[in-house]
Amino acid sequence: MKYLDEYRDGRVAAKIVAEVRRVTTRPWTLMEVCGGQTHSIVKHGIDRLLPAELELVHGPGCPVCVTPLEQIDKAHAIARTPGVIFTSFGDMLRVPGSQTDLLRLKSAGADVRIVYAPLDAVRIAQDNPGREVVFFAVGFETTAPANALAVTRARALGVDNFSMLVSHVLVPPAITAILQTPGNRVQGFLGPGHVCTVMGYREYEAIARHYRVPVVVTGFEPVDLLDGVLRTVRQLEAGEASIDNQYSRVVDRDGNAAAQRLIWSAFEVCDRKWRGVGTIPKSGLRLRYELHGYDAERRFEVGALETREPAECISGQILRGLKKPHDCPAFGTRCTPASPLGATMVSAEGACAAYYAYGRHREAAAP
C-alpha cells in the first residue's frame, strides 16, 4: 500500500540504524508515547537493532490499557441491562473488569456489538428505536473527533435512544506526569504521530522547552520509528531540546482545526483516572453540560462499584517508563494476555502484551 510499504523498506531501515550507531556516543533513554508505536517496535524488533547505549521504554499511550477498571465495570453493568445494545471498538471486548469481560457477557446473552466507526453506533440506534444503544467512547485525541461526531450527530438527528460511556484521555498531561515522576528516566520522547494529526504539536513545544526534553513527532512504521530515534538522539547528543516533526507527511504544527472544533463542541477537559497510574489532573475529556442527556453514566444507574487491582502488578511503573515487562515476576507466568493482571497486559498495544505476543516472555531477562 502506498505510504505504508515504502516505510517498511529494510534497506532504508538499515541505513538509518547505521546512522544511529554513528551518532550515538553515550547512553540515552527514550520513550515512545503511543501503544501503536510500542507494538510496532516490538513486532519488528526495532529496539534490538539499536546500539546498546540506547534504551527504549514504553509509554502510557494505549487507551484500552489505561481505561480505569471502574469504567470497564460500568460498561459491563450497562451491557447486562435488559434491552440495551452495547457497542464498542473491538479492542475493548477482551479487557477484563473485576468479574467478566464484554465477550463473555455477549456469549452469556448480552447484546454486545463491535463497531468499526462510532457513527455506526448511531445508525444502530436509528435502526432500533425501541432499544437503548450505548457506545463505549474510549481513546486519545486521535479518536476524540470521531466519538464527538457520533454524539453531536445523534443530537442533530434526534436519536434519543443513543448514549455514550466516555473514558477519554489526553497525551500531554500524561507526558508531564511522567516527567514529574521522581526517578524519571526518560530523556527524549517519540511523540504520538496520530494524536498530532488532530492536535498539531504546539502543546509539545511548551513541554520540550519547560522540561528541556526533545520531542520528535513520529509515525508508526519501522522506518518512521528509526527516523524518530535518530532525530531524538541527534538532539540529545547536541544538547538540544526542541520539537521536531518526523511525520510531516500527515502532521503539521496546528493540526486539524475543524476536528478540534468538533472535539470542543462535544467534550470538555476533566481530571481522569488512568488504570495502573492513578488520577492525572486535567488529563481526560467528558461530555459537555449540554450533552449530559447523552451521558450513559447519567442515564443508567450503575451504583457505586468497588474495584480491586492485583497488588503485584507493576503496570503503573511500566507505563511511566520506570520498569519493563521482564522486571515483573508475574510476567508470562501468572500474567498472560489470556489472564491479565493489569493495564499493560490487557491490550495488544500494552507493553507486556506486545512482549508476550512476540515471544519475549520465553527469554530470561531483557537484553
Partner 1 sequence: MCLAIPGRVLEIFEDRGLRMGRADFGGTVRKVCLEHLPEAGIGDYVLVHVGFALSKVDPEEAERTYRFLEDLDQLGELQAPEAEP
Q: Which of 44, 46, 57, 89 binds partner 1 (CB under 8 A)?
A: 89
Candidates 16, 72, 154, 346; binder of partner 1 (CB under 8 A) is 16
Interaction between residue 262 and partner 1 (CB under 8 A): yes
Residue type, 152: T
Helices (H), 170-277: 171-180, 193-199, 202-211, 222-237, 257-266
Handedness of CA 148, 151, 157, 158 (dihedral sign): negative
User: Which CB atom, from 163 or from 347, has the smaller least distance to partner 1?
Assistant: 347
Residues 214, 18: Cα–Cα separation, whole Å:
21
Question: How many residues appear in the chain?
Answer: 367
CA distance 266 to 145: 9
CA angle 355, 177, 251 (to 5 degrees): 75
Rounded to whole angstroms, the Cα distance separating 356 from 367 reads: 15
Stretch that binds partner 1, among 51-59, 139-147, 207-215, 358-366 (CB under 8 A): 139-147
| Chain residues 158-217 in contact with partner 1, contact rule CB under 8 A | 192, 194-195, 197-198
Residue 117 near partner 1 by CB under 8 A: yes
Q: Would you count residue 18 as binding partner 1 (CB under 8 A)?
A: yes
Q: How far apart are CA 290 and CA 261, in angstroms?
A: 16
Q: Which residues ranging from 56 to 85 are in contact with partner 1 (CB under 8 A)?
A: 61-64
The correct pick among 248, 278, 279, 327 for binding partner 1 (CB under 8 A) is: 248
Among 24, 32, 36, 204, binds partner 1 (CB under 8 A): 36
Q: Work out whether 96 is an interface residue with partner 1 (CB under 8 A).
A: no
Q: Is 7 in the site for partner 1 (CB under 8 A)?
A: yes
Strand order in the sheet with 188-192: 54-61, 28-34, 188-192, 215-218, 243-245
Q: For residue 24, what are the contacts with CB-CB under 8 A and spacing of at least 6?
A: 51, 53, 54, 233, 237
Nearer CB in complex with partner 1: 71/197: 197
Among 93, 119, 270, 357, binds partner 1 (CB under 8 A): 119
Q: By CB under 8 A, name the binding residues for partner 1.
A: 1-4, 6-7, 12, 15-16, 18-19, 22, 34-36, 61-64, 89, 91, 116-120, 138-140, 142-143, 145-146, 149, 153, 156-157, 192, 194-195, 197-198, 220, 223, 227, 246, 248-251, 256, 258-259, 262, 347, 349
